[in-house]
Structure 1
Amino acid sequence: MKPYIERASAAGLEWVKSSYSGNNGNCVEVATLPGGGRALRDSKNLGGPALTMSTAGFNVFVRSIVSGDLNQP
């Protein structure tokens, strides 16, 4: 699996924004990739690149966010 998609809007994926997102435009959208895995993109740059990862990698990523492991010092 490539670690990114160059043009997220051209990938033909169904992008979803979290129901916790506000209307400030600073959102991350996620899509399920064909064959599994997830893609993430910046909602302000729909045509820009998207980060891709396996389903297991996405689960670790989300758990790290929730636990605060990715917080800056």
Structure 2
Amino acid sequence: MNEISNGVAATALSGVRWRKSVYSNPSGNCVELAELPGGEVAVRNSRHPSGPALIYSRGEIAAFIQGAKNGEFDDLAL
């Protein structure tokens, strides 16, 4: 599979506080999220902290979280 890259450089988002789930494991298989000043949410791969970050609205994040809670993406984690 070719490497896929899009979004903005995470390094361009200086001054934000990145955080990850307490369920993340020490092997680095994590995503990190940061609230942006305008209310959007940035998402990046914790293994590539200077790599791309995807920017989502609060509504998009809410829809994703609700879908995850409902098990809509469980098949992707198997």
Q: 2:64 aligns with which of 46, 51, 61?
A: 61
Structure 1, unaligned runs of 5 or more: none
Q: Give the distance between the partners of 2:33 and 2:11, measured in 1 at CA.
A: 12
Higher relative contact order (CA 8 A, sep 6+): 1
Q: Give the distance between the partners of 1:53 and 1:71, measured in 2 at CA.
A: 21
Q: Give the distance between the partners of 1:44 and 1:63, measured in 2 at CA.
A: 26
1:34 corresponds in structure 2 to 37
**Are 1:45 and 2:61 matched, yes or no?**
no
Q: Give the distance between the partners of 1:65 and 1:40, measured in 2 at CA.
A: 16
Q: CA RMSD in A?
A: 1.8
TM-score, normalised relative to structure 2: 0.77
Identity of aligned residues (%): 39
Q: Larger C-alpha radius of gyration, 1 or 2?
A: 2
